[in-house]
Amino acid sequence: MTTPEGRALDIEKALREVQDRLRAACSDSGRGESEVMLLPVTKFFPASDVEILYRLGCREFGESREQEASAKTEELDVVFADAPAKWHMIGHLQRNKAKSVATWAHSIHSVDSDRLVGALQKAVRRALDDGDRVTPLRVLIQVSLDGDVHRGGVERDDLARLADRVSSCPDLEFSGLMAVPPIEADPDAAFADLADLHRRVLVDHPGALELSAGMTSDLEAAVRHGSTCVRVGTAILGSRPIASPIESADHISHN
């Protein structure tokens, strides 16, 4: 059993190591440190771990399972009241959960269908009207790089259309793209492909500057190809329990 103090020290050490990795990756790619945000991914880990990260200066967190996230954010938003954290939904979302996400999420990285866009616009409008949020929801479109949409993401041929659709929603702010490399793909090739899609989207949507790319195993490759946000779980908090079959159906078992 680790003590709470031991856990805090382990997380601090791991966080510093990832920050060093990210700094080195930026410098190797000739990019400034401030160009790439480190987003700690806290899914499966308790609120107490998020508090440790918060005390270490982290203010934005990624979650991927809606029910878990809404409970955790509700608990912690009270604790973080003086300097609120920003929560990012990074996992697959079912339409019927849009209403809940609209109350806690600052950004969502995993939008991949018209129907989800419609549900989010409606839910965010309502959350704004009810005083449950004060800003538009930042939306990143998740792209499927290999067309295997079971793993989440819109097919590349539908990307331009979906981007127009998000941009047309008054309470959503189209902010960029996200992708997870296909299983066993070369991360450099995958992120180069993503960067190319991003360049094309930027022609019509110059404000969609975010590129959410890179995780524990491939953050260096992502930074080489223009990532503005690396989503890192394992390297900071350790390995998660093996996902259940239900979660594989929810597209997240590969993580």
Map residues 107-146 to x or -, x wherever contact with ligand PLP holds by CB under 6 A: ----------------------------------------
Q: Strand pairing partners for 139? A: 108, 174
Q: Of residues 89, 171, 232, 250, which one binds ligand PLP by CB under 6 A?
A: 232
**41 lines the binding site for ligand PLP (CB under 6 A):** yes
Site string for ligand PLP, 155-194 (x = CB under 6 A): -------------------------x--------------
Query: Is the C-alpha dihedral spanning 211, 141, 67, 136 positive or negative?
Result: positive
Minimum CB separation from ligand PLP for residue 59, in Å? Answer: 18
- Find the binder of ligand PLP among 43, 72, 97, 138 (CB under 6 A): 43
92 binds ligand PLP (CB under 6 A): no
Q: Which is nearer to ligand PLP, 141 or 232 (CB)?
A: 232
Residue 252 touches ligand PLP, criterion: CB under 6 A: yes
Residue nearest to ligand PLP (CB): 233
Residues 6+ apart with CB under 8 A from 62: 39, 40, 41, 42, 43, 87, 88, 89, 90, 109, 231, 233
CA distances from 140 to 30, 184, 192 (A): 25, 24, 18
Query: Taking contact as CB under 6 A, which single stretch among the options 22-30, 111-119, 185-193, 212-220 is the one that binds ligand PLP?
Result: 212-220
Cα–Cα nearest to 60, from 255, 229, 240, 250: 229
**What single DSSP character describes residue 150?**
G
25 forms part of the interface with ligand PLP (CB under 6 A): no
Task: Identify the residue among 215, 221, 222, 229 touching ligand PLP (CB under 6 A).
Answer: 215
In this structure, what DSSP letter does residue 184 have? Answer: T
Distance CA 29, CA 201 (A): 23
Let me know the angle formed at the C-alpha of 36 by 143 and 91, rounded to the nearest 5 degrees. Answer: 35
Nearest 5°: the CA angle 102, 116, 155 is 135
By CB under 6 A, residue 255 contacts ligand PLP: yes
Residues that bind ligand PLP (CB under 6 A): 41, 43, 64, 90-91, 180, 215-217, 231-235, 252, 255
